[in-house]
A = this chain, B = another copy of it.
Amino acid sequence: MKSAERLRDAERTRADLLEIATEIFSEQGYSGARVDEIAERTRTTKRMIYYYFGGKEGLYLAVLEAAYRRIRETEQSIHADDLAPVEAVRRIAELTFDHHHGHPAFIRLVSVENIHHGQHLGKVESLRDLGTPAASLLDVVLARGRASGELRADVDAIDVHMLISSYCVFQVANSATFGYLFGRDMLAPDVRERHRRILGDIVVGWLTAH
């Protein structure tokens, strides 16, 4: 067991850098982030970024990987087997909604990565088939719904996931411009609650339309 007050602790230094870097990359973008600023806000120095991550890009890749790993864990914890298909999709939508609102830094990182055409994503081996859990979860529910005739049969899991992702990502990633142009603070609790319910209505309304 290690002491909590060691002056040198590789794991702690690594974690410290990763945490601050996540915040700064998500707030300023890849090019906008400054290695000096990241280092300044940790208890260690810039030297360690190069020691542990090889450089700015290596640090960014590590941030990306850690962020995506957390997402995957959350997704895998969702269980909707015990609900009727209609309620299951609503529940999946709402949980996704909550998760996005609860992890804005991750959502912003995705935006950053897209600005750069996803050129870094492919470099992280462990993120190869990250989409699978979310898709297969929906796949099961949709199959049940199709079988019972409650859900429409002309859409697949990715279609549904894309709708849910679109709506949730937009809430967080575009809150600044949309909120400004339409005078609606998307992060306010009551507005958020309304949108959460609306997303459920949208998904259910669509999938049950005939």
Contacts and interface: CB of A to CB of B under 8 A. Distances in A.
Nearest to A110: B177
Interface string A188-210: 00000001001001101111110
Contacts of A176: 113-114, 117-118, 121
A53 interface: no
Nearest to A155: B198
Interface in A33-63: none
Interface stretch (A2-10, A16-24, A166-174): A166-174
A115 B166 contact: no
A108 B111 CA distance: 10
Q: Which of A30, A169, A180 has the most CB of B within 10 A?
A: A180
Q: Tell me whether chain A's interface is mostly helix, strand or loop, or mixed.
A: helix
Contacts of A159: 198
B111 A163 contact: no
A118 B31 contact: no
Q: Which of A113, A117, A130 has the most CB of B within 10 A?
A: A117
A181 B131 contact: yes
A158 interface: yes
Given A158-B182, A201-B206, 11 more contacts: A29-B29, A31-B31, A32-B32, A117-B176, A118-B176, A121-B177, A129-B181, A135-B182, A161-B182, A170-B170, A204-B209
Interface of A: 28-32, 108, 110-118, 121-122, 127, 129-131, 135, 155, 158-159, 161-163, 165-167, 169-171, 173-184, 195, 198, 201-202, 204-209
- In the A-B complex, the 10 residue pairs with the closest CB atoms: A118-B176, A205-B209, A31-B32, A166-B170, A131-B181, A31-B31, A205-B206, A131-B182, A166-B166, A202-B206
